[in-house]
Structure 1
Amino acid sequence: MKLIVKLISGIVLGILVGLFAPEWVTRVLLTFKGLFGQLLFFTIPLLILFYITSGIAGLPRDSGRLLGTTLGLAYGSTLVAGVLAFLAATALVPLLTGGALSAAEAEGTAPAAFISVEIPPLFGIMSALAAAFIFGLGIAASRAENLRRLFDEGRDVIRALLVGVIIPLLPFYIAGVFAELAAAGTVFATLRTFGVVLAMSIALHWVWIVVLFVIAGLRAGASPFKLIGGMLPAYFTALGTMSSAATIPVTLQAARSNGVRESVAAFTVPLCATTHLAGSTITIVSCAVAVMVLQDGLAVPSLLSMIPFILTLGVVMLAAPGVPGGAVMAAVGLLGSMLGFGETAIALMIALYMAQDSFGTACNVTGDGAIALMVDSVAPADSAASQGPS
């Protein structure tokens, strides 16, 4: 929650600088924005390579049907939630915002940065994704422990960079973005859209939670609203931690209180914490549509064109880092390569997402309880007792 306060402070600071500060102050902030952006885009392919490789290689072994059922339900929930979010956002965002002004105009009218430095990534986003699958599946098949340890340690290095440098400096980066928008006169249209998307995303989170628990309640023969009530401790804990991983103990307890067998809960909840990202997908897709509406250079694609993005997004966020904003950091590369987002659009995307990250995480972990109930309803008693986490 402190990060959200810092991000809001960064937005306010950026607006004040862009509207009232001397030009040299705005240029200093824009210089930092440019340098930080280069570091961010250099880091994203490394994040995808190390995190996805480590996540695939670390999936439980010899878990058979229980593993397949859990992963299938988690991925299916993520994909359908993304499609729902896209349909709702394309229908509501243009209608409610009334055609916001273009944020892209800021690039041509705001003051220039003092210096500009390019840091090309070591490899592209899709190359990182392909390599992650090759190494992850290869390590899982060959049980190459030394190679697995290498990727785990690489993941830890990237996590340290995120936690120690990128996440703490994000408010200043966002301040630079909004200083640029304020100087160009498009900031208030942007803020109006932010409010609309925030309310819409939270509403969609709750729609999807109800859908999941109606399905789970039908399978378990229980009231879906009673089951949702049992998961509320996990929901509110996730609002504060902004991390599915950090909420696992509370999610486990809530799932058990809803009648999920101990062995099934112990297997599904930790696995879903890194593979079930329906709430994060709803937020990312909704925010992406909002940014497309804000920018004249970006056209909202058709559903058929958007589905490949949603399919890939569900994979790229696999084992997203257990830090605030990890999902959108993993998605940044796809936004550029598949949806054509430029630096300003990606910066707006990060600001929009981070403001709602706690609600998306809360939706993720609450949905984990529904998936645990579904798995519990199909897992045989003998296999559920024997297939714990490995």
Structure 2
Amino acid sequence: MELTPTSEDEAFRRAARDWLLANRPAGPAPREGRASRDYATDWLARCHAGGWSGLAWPSDYGGQGLSPERLILWYEEYVRARAPSALDCTFVALNHAGPTVIARGTEAQKAFHLPRILEGRSIWCQGFSEPGAGSDLASLRTTGRVEGDVLVVNGQKIWSSYADIADYQELLIRTEPGSSRHKGLSWVICDMTLPGITVRPIENMAGVTHFAEVFYDDVRIPLDNVVGDLHDGWSVAMTTLAFERRTAALALQLELSVKVEDLIALADAPAGSATAARLADLRAEAAAIRAMTWRTALREPATPFDGSLVRLSFAELAQKVHRAAMDILGPAGLTDGHWSHDYLESYSETIAGGTAEIQRNIIAERVLGLPREPRA
């Protein structure tokens, strides 16, 4: 694995830095609602016009086809420029749905959806988790009954980010009667304007409504919207989650290093103090996350569970960083809208995208080869 940048890499880095500094939005992003959608789609449209959209997508589908090395260089400059968070309402479309449609979709699905995603013309949300089927995704119960050329969908999803402002949803449902667990599922493109869909936003403890419950009452979705084969949705869903756990969160992982440096500057701790030692540990852990990010992106041949190692390390470090921020700020943290908001949001890091316990099981069983956890 070669980590020495070439002259072409350095030229790419300079071009990315110059463009970002010249084009990043001046004001902060709204945290929710239609205003957050308009801000995110305007930024994505600007990136697309500048040739900086779909960086990891193949050029055949409108992307830039960047190598993993170049992608990391871009994101390093992205976070240094303090560009808008990559975890906005365009995240699912760019990093879940789009790559999954490229890998498993029909040509008609690709032709219709991919340009809209790249240009910021459509927002997607995810419909995987259900009450009682979050980390144990295979136990989901939302059904799709085949009637002629449509699926009639009934059930409920929860923790669907940005469902209240989304155009489409990557929806995982049970389509084969009598099936259980991983069998008989289908991955479906759901138009969020269809009759029978009800979206109820959920306010989290940080006071924002990123999440929502989604209810389906005889929602009729064309069979043409199935991605991959009917009843083979589990393998398609694993394709989606592989993108999320391996490369989709590169910007978030690298952004954590910037937050640590911000916290060090904020604390201005005396050398040799307990606070300085604590911050030094956080800086070292952030550097380790950056190294793991490089290894995950560049290791050949790729190993399928590297993403769980990075995801778990990132989630736990994010909580440590924000907990340290609250300790350093003391009572002032209660009125600091930036750090207090991010501190409350950080509690979700060890739950979203597969809980810390699930990630540990994956690492133990599939990386270390330890005995499987007993199943009830």
Q: TM-score, normalised by structure 1?
A: 0.29
Higher helix share: 1
Q: TM-score, normalised by structure 2?
A: 0.30
Higher strand share: 2
Higher relative contact order (CA 8 A, sep 6+): 1
